[in-house]
Chains A and B, each alone.
Chain A
Amino acid sequence: MQVTEYKPKIVAFCCNWCSYAGADLAGNNRLAYPAEVKIIRVPCSCRVNPMFILRAFQRGADGVIICGCHPGDCHYTSGNYYTRRRMALLFSMLNYLGIEKERTRVEWVSAAEGAKFAATMNDFVQTVAALGENKRLEDLRCKL
């Protein structure tokens, strides 16, 4: 009997200097994580506009994760501090609107944390998969 497993769509924004390198390291070390995760490279986590996150949900993403350098380690000194504030407020707002709070996450992953990257993605995919499809913040037209 074949069961089609529900596979969430995950968009991961990774900063070029830490998290994208961390993802590369996960690859170098062959640390597996689900293929549902697709990474978009941005120079810094602070490049991620809340509009991109909403866009992802509109287009059918089930979860969006933003990865950046650890606070204090930003290649641009302060970028991830702004990310932290923006996302704190945005996520709090999404939660306030009743959007499942587990669908969004910010995680700090350094270039050395290949294992953390893989573990984070494994956990995030699992969490989102448990929620099921994103229904509250979707644009049905996209699924035509």
Chain B
Amino acid sequence: MQALTREVLLDRAKALFADGTVDRAYGWKRGEFDYDVTPGLFRSVEEMEKEFVFDDFCGANFSKYLVEETRKGEGKILVFLKPCDTYSFNQLLTEHRFDREKVYAVGIPCEGMADVTKLKAEAAEGIRSITAEKEGFVVHTLYDGDKTVPRTEGLSERCLVCKSKKHVAYDELLGEDGEVADSARFDEVARLEAMNADERFAFWQRELSRCIRCNACRDVCPACTCETCVFNNPNSGVESKAPVTSFEEQMFHIIRAFHVAGRCTDCGECSRVCPQHIPLHLLNRKFIKDINAFYGEYQAGAEVGSRAPLVNYTTADLEPGEAVQRGNEHA
């Protein structure tokens, strides 16, 4: 259950529409079922009253939409930002991807968002409805009655290792701000590092070979806002549409991870949207972990204008050979 209700957010949105602060708002739209919430742009209070929702299925991050939307229209856009969303919001500002003046950001606390695939795995087939109760998510199934999934088992992976409940950007904050958490998000990376090269290769082959190159990971990624993606550019030498060979799968994901290295805010959307459930965040987190270990703690998006590690250096940086060695020793 979220700390704030739909009504609190809606009231605030209404007030902001009413006093002319904003003329459109990004918010979550009710779906067919309890869980298939769609991010949407509302143009009026009436639309919001009808379709706006805020519950445990509002994981979508609106930051990326601002790149395009701020280029349209004169008025400001209201956007609700959960703590993790504010990092990508800041990172996009650092990269001058949208005009801050066109946005009115309302920070909202987040208690973690549900991963419906986890709940579906629990329900096998057929979810009639889902309610969030104290004891967890109660899944009313079509065939097997009610099943209660403890909250920690129904939350998205990224929420289970939430790095911060503290907003790093907003115009106003609704509710209470939280703290930066000391999360265990690198544990899984460390586990892989502890394997030998053959095991790691086997692991990644198994995962990456499922890739269908739908580009959902890229298209949802708030760091992937390139005007033309190298994978769409026939002149880049890496353009491709399909994972024709195992090389293509590897190359796509290596290059993508490298391109967002030092810019990735670890929002975990890539893994969430992957229809094949490839743990793509483990690639990005490896870079984050390495960057922290090699060049000092750095969190993209924590601060607007910060200098990303890959566009920076010190004369005492470690050598690539040592880096590989240390990458192995982390375990």
Contact = CB atoms under 8 A, between A and B. Distances in A.
Interface residues of B, number: 52
B19 to A, nearest CB: 48
Interface stretch (B75-83, B104-112, B193-201, B272-280): B193-201
Contacts, number: 128
A137 interface: yes
B290 interface: yes
Contacts of B230: 51
Contacts of B257: 93
- Specify which of A54, A86, A98 lies most central, judged by the most chain B CB atoms within 10 Å of its CB: A98
B192 A96 contact: yes
- Specify which of B244, B314, B327 lies most central, judged by the most chain A CB atoms within 10 Å of its CB: B327
A98 B204 contact: yes
Contacts of B313: 78, 81-82, 84-85
A89 B324 contact: no
B250 A89 contact: no
Interface string A132-144: 0000111111000
Contacts of B254: 50, 54, 90, 93-94, 97
B283 interface: yes
Given A51-B238, A81-B313, A91-B324, A98 B199 contact: yes
Nearest to B192: A96
A88 B294 contact: yes
Nearest to B236: A51
Given A71-B315, A105-B321, A136-B201, A95 B255 contact: no
Interface in A10-60: 50-51, 54-55, 57-58
A138 B255 CA distance: 15
Given A96-B286, A100-B197, A89 B251 contact: no
B283 A93 contact: yes
Given A71-B315, A84-B320, A93-B254, A98 B245 contact: no
Contact of B317 (A85, A91, A97): A85
B319 A55 contact: no
Contacts of B237: 51, 55
Given A90-B254, A93-B283, 10 more contacts: A57-B247, A58-B251, A81-B313, A82-B310, A85-B312, A88-B324, A89-B294, A92-B286, A95-B328, A98-B199
30 contacts: A51-B237, A51-B255, A55-B237, A55-B238, A58-B247, A71-B315, A81-B315, A85-B294, A85-B309, A85-B310, A85-B313, A88-B294, A88-B318, A88-B320, A88-B324, A89-B261, A89-B323, A91-B323, A92-B324, A93-B287, A94-B254, A95-B324, A96-B286, A97-B200, A98-B197, A98-B199, A98-B203, A106-B321, A138-B247, A139-B247
> What 9 A-B pairs are tightest by C-beta distance, nearest first?
A98-B201, A88-B323, A81-B313, A98-B200, A139-B247, A92-B327, A87-B320, A106-B320, A88-B320
